[in-house]
Amino acid sequence: MAVATQVLRSEWTKIRSVRSTVWTMALALVVTVALSMLISAVSKNEFDDMSRQDKLEFDPTQISFAGIGLGQLALIVFGVLVVSNEYSTGMIRTSLAAVPQRFTFLFSKIAVATLLAFVVGLVISFLSFFAGQAMLGDHKAALGDSGVMRALLGSAIYMTLITVFAMGVTAMLRSPMLSLGILMPFFFLISNILGNVSATEKVGQYLPDQAGSRIMQVVETGDDAPYGPWGGIFIMALWVLAALVGGYISLKKRDA
């Protein structure tokens, strides 16, 4: 137990002492909140011109989280950097010599980064919601409305899982460039294509970002997703678990 505590403290020191990881989290906050405010303001101005059906499906809570789609870019970079920094600098050999128990080493690193990502995710979630609702004016939702608190907590969980998924993938690949080269197209290109093409739409529903983002939806739109908000988060968590297991197996079987 004492060893695990020392490793956790060491990993916290590593994360907060690396400037790039700190800046990526700050960037995630600024970009997400600013974009959410902008899209909320645009949505308010366009509301009167919407069709009757669009007005019925208007989801002020989900709109206030619109910036997360871009803000998760910084969270992915953060997750990649947390794991890959030591490989890039060669410090991984020193770290594994100091902590030969590779399970303890990897999951202490992931535990610290996960907690940080969740705290930042909560801040982003609440700031985005309140800023977005301020922009929506008369069309805003209230914190006490049905499903709103679930969406707020769920968005923080979503952002945390995205970060952890990036860490798991990077633990398998080790290279920051290779990890980003796979993760960025996956989330920002492949997922969107699969989710918006009728022939592959049902496949896209089970991708981590599309399944997980359902937690931020409050107003039902009549889509045919075979799972609810928490079901979507569960699917996303399975993806994350698979990435973490793959990362651990890779770390255990390969030399530093």
pLDDT (tens digit, 9 = 90+) per residue, 6-39?
Answer: 888 888 888 877 777 788 988 999 999 999 999 9
Supply the range of the domain harboring residue 191. Answer: 2-253
- pLDDT at residue 256 greater than cutoff 70: no
Q: What is the pLDDT of residue 18?
A: 74
Cβ-based burial of 18 (10 A; exposed 0-12, middle 13-18, buried ≥19): middle
What is the C-alpha to C-alpha distance for residues 95 and 93, in angstroms, rounded to an integer? 5
Structural domain tally of the chain? 1
Distance in angstroms (rounded) separating the CA atoms of residues 190 and 6: 41
**Residue 2: pLDDT band with limits 50, 70, 90:** low
Q: What is the C-alpha to C-alpha distance for residues 249 and 246, in angstroms, rounded to an integer?
A: 5
Q: What is the pTM of this model?
A: 0.92
pLDDT band, residue 122 (cuts 50/70/90): very high
Count other C-beta atoms under 10 Å from residue 151's C-beta: 25
Average of per-residue pLDDT across 101-129: 92
| pLDDT tens-place string over residues 54-92 | 888 889 999 999 999 888 999 999 999 999 888 877 778
| Cβ-count burial 40-71 (b if 16+ within 10 Å, e if not) | bbebbeebeeeeeeeeeebbbbbbbbbbbbeb
Residues 96 and 106: their CA atoms lie apart, in Å, by 10
Q: Poorest-confidence range of 82-96, 99-113, 164-178?
A: 82-96
Q: How many CB atoms lie within 10 A of CB 224?
A: 7
Distance CA 112, CA 229 (A): 26
pLDDT of residue 232 exceeding 70, the answer is yes
Band of pLDDT at residue 211, cut at 50, 70 and 90? very high
Q: Is 13 helix (H, G, I), strand (E, B) or coil?
A: helix
